[in-house]
A and B are shown apart, each in its own frame.
Chain A
Amino acid sequence: MSDPAKPPHLSDHGEHALPDDSHTTPVAKLLFGWTSKPWTGRVVFIVLAIVSVGLIFLEPLLEAASGEGHHFRHTYFDIDGITAFHAWWGFGSFALVVLAGWPLGRLMRREEDYYEDEEEPAGEEPHP
């Protein structure tokens, strides 16, 4: 079974079954139960897309509404005067950081016992 909302490496860890919710507390079900529904990924994507587009288009609307001679945005430089500059910068930065994780992981990741006799520890006995 593949979860259409998640790419395979995140949803398929060999368990091939819906998570066991028999231990889930009522509070957890109420607050976060929606996050493990099959439709979650798609709905979150659509909602975020709508919100993002809304935030981008809100700026010129508010600028226009602030009237002649007034500026809604308080800018410091030329570059942040670009419409929805923060939106583009946020999206671009985030994508750059995440995509940089691919080459950086290959370049800098080593076995956990790379520094002899000091394998990165869990550090604690579990108290389940």
Chain B
Amino acid sequence: MSGLIDTINPGLVLILAGLLAGLTPIQRVRQGLTLGAPVVALIMLLTATRDTDLATMSMLGFDMVLYRVDSLSFIFALAFLIAAFINAVYALHNDSQLEDSMALSYMGAAVAACFCRDFISLFVFWELTAITSVFLIFLSGTRAAYKAAMRYLALHVFSGVLLLFGAMQIYFDTGDMSVRHLELGDPGVLLVFIAFGIKAGFPFLHTWLADAYPKATVTGTVVLSAFTTKLAIYALARTFAGETSLVWIGAIMTVYPVFFAVVENDLRKVLSFSLNNQLGFMVCAIGVGTPLALNGAAAHAFCHIMYKSLLFMSMGAVLYRTGTTKATELGGLYRTMPWTTVFCLIGAASISAFPLFSGFVSKSLSMSALAGAGFLIPWLMLLFASAGVLEHSGIKIPYFAFFGHDSGKRPKEAPFNMLLAMGAAAFICVGVGLPAFLNGFGFDWLYSILPYAEDPKTVSYEPYTADHILTQMQLLMLAVFAFVVLQRIGAYPPEKRGIILDTDIVFRKLGYGLARWTGSVWNKAGPAIGSAFGGVSARAFSRLEAAFSPRGTLARGGFSNSMAIWTAVLLALALLVAFFIR
């Protein structure tokens, strides 16, 4: 029996629990499923044998590896399962059968995808993440959410289709369907690269992120923030490590969302831009491709899942209590939501990479790897973006929600289960960021589960050097000082209601407008074309009728009177020909 269990991909446990949750109207039972499934899956993951094909399948001549654990998939799946458990605690108050079901299936699909080592099964779970997650956006029930969800679904299904086409092309070129390191060049590989790029939020493919995430439900956004994009990061690390173009793509990804975030009014949208910016750090590290850099990407992904969830949870609590996350309508909430404020500040300090918090020990790995590889301009861009992160996630989020001008709102503190979930995420943010006073304590634990934990540069890497602490504090404190100075002289742009245009205007305005214009043209031209076509066909019919009908041209004259005889003669001739000439 244990042999059978060892071959089950832990993601399937979550998917099964999701199916059961969908059939269970009793909330208590669903709570048990959402809390229990991640724990069972976590135990399965921790006891799994590494670097062996634990489950394989052959279908239509393709060899599929459905379950294989190695150090890279381990850290991503571990982070996913911890996040799944925390999300379950956060959503305990939520009595929605469909949301529980879809969230579990979505998280399960992401976990399962980490262990797939062939493109077919990766494709299946890749699409499953898209199809299940879209319900978390639909379920917030507004028209804007519906439309954003449709855009999200279209883009993500498209990503899956590209993945499948690319994989097929690769298979025809090489005869190998396994998920492995690929070199850009062949069209198939390029399609896979773009498929991953859509989910990873590459520049110009990123708009779905800030479009859809802020419109999902309170709990849905927290779930969404952890999985889809990090699955793409995992896939990129698996297949395109060392692809130099990723360094530049990543660097651009870190910089541009900073500018969007500073003018954005919806704080959950600010966090979505911030998420995009953080993905840039990971993509950049994957582009460098050295073991230290890949460790940096994985460590960053792990910590990012925790602190980004924490920030989304705190904004979710604000939304849950006040009904809005618009900066213009918030402020001064610390008075009645002090614990949410504390947890939000811990998330903010972590993402800003203050010493003693998780961002400090994870981001520094990739920054060092990038600088060590000699990429000066990307390094400066990432350093710029680090100050930008501090601006939007470190200061803007807590300041405008909990401090700033008093909105007069006095909501209750977040529900207890939300506080518990935030507390757990905050604990990890602090716990992972602490110096390694003992072996296996603080950042040492994180470094010990990295994909290349044995890499000599990583083993000897010490984030808490006086040099590193000082330079990081210089960067952060002077940036905070800049904030205070700009505030005092009135140069900080005030928050205003409104939306910020992004590149998706191309298809939301121009594309949609073009489609509508085409529609209205068709409405006018269609009947005209139809009547013209009708006229032509009517004329053709009347000509044919004139020729062949009983009263037509051919029926007139002597010939037609003996038509029956002529027909019989022709048939007889045909019979004779068929009989004698074989």
Partner-B contacts on A (CB < 8 A) = 5-11, 13, 15, 19-21, 23-25, 27-28, 31-32, 35-36, 41, 44-45, 48-49, 51-52, 55-56, 58-59, 62, 72-74, 76-77, 79-80, 84-91, 93-95, 97-102, 104-105, 108-112, 114-115, 117-128
Contacts and interface: CB of A to CB of B under 8 A. Distances in A.
Given A24-B336, A124-B320, A8 B215 contact: no
A77 B476 CA distance: 20
Given A7-B488, A86-B471, A91-B478, 15 more contacts: A7-B487, A9-B490, A15-B406, A20-B410, A21-B335, A28-B337, A55-B477, A76-B372, A79-B380, A86-B478, A97-B259, A110-B498, A110-B500, A121-B140, A122-B324
Interface in B54-107: none
A34 B466 CA distance: 31
B332 A8 contact: no
A84 B475 CA distance: 9
18 contacts: A19-B408, A20-B406, A24-B335, A31-B338, A32-B334, A41-B488, A48-B484, A76-B379, A80-B371, A87-B477, A93-B479, A94-B387, A101-B493, A111-B499, A115-B508, A120-B266, A122-B323, A124-B319
7 closest Cβ contacts across the A-B interface?
A126-B323, A7-B490, A93-B387, A90-B475, A28-B338, A19-B406, A76-B371
B548 to A, nearest CB: 56
Contacts of B471: 73, 85-86
A94 B386 CA distance: 9
Contacts, number: 254
A10 B472 contact: no
Contacts of B496: 105, 109
Interface in B334-363: 334-339, 341-342
A25 B391 CA distance: 28
Interface string B519-554: 000000000000000000000000000000000000
Given A90-B476, A98-B486, A110-B499, A104 B338 contact: no
Interface string B367-386: 00001101010011001101
A15 B408 contact: yes
A85 B410 CA distance: 43
Contact of A32 (B319, B341, B371, B405): B341
Contacts of B383: 86, 89, 93
B388 interface: yes
B147 A118 contact: yes
| Residue among A52, A80, A93 having the largest count of chain B Cβ atoms under 10 Å | A93
A105 B413 CA distance: 33
Interface string B120-164: 000000000000000000001011110110000000000000000
Contact of B482 (A95, A100, A109): A95
A47 B515 CA distance: 58
Interface in B204-233: 214-218
A27 to B, nearest CB: 5
Given A32-B338, A48-B484, A126-B322, A117 B492 contact: no
A99 B492 CA distance: 7
B474 interface: yes
B387 A97 contact: yes
Contact of B142 (A108, A109, A110, A123): A123
Contacts of A122: 319, 323-326
A20 B335 CA distance: 10
Given A97-B262, A98-B482, A89 B387 contact: yes
A9 B491 CA distance: 10
Given A104-B259, A118-B147, A77 B491 contact: no
B434 interface: no
Nearest to B383: A89
B440 interface: no
Given A9-B490, A94-B479, A123-B217, A77 B376 contact: yes
Interface in B301-346: 319-326, 332, 334-339, 341-342
A100 B491 CA distance: 11
A125 B499 contact: no
Contacts of B482: 90-91, 94-95, 98
A118 B320 CA distance: 21
A38 to B, nearest CB: 13
A101 to B, nearest CB: 4
A98 B338 contact: no
Contacts of B509: 115
B43 interface: no
B494 A9 contact: yes
B345 to A, nearest CB: 9
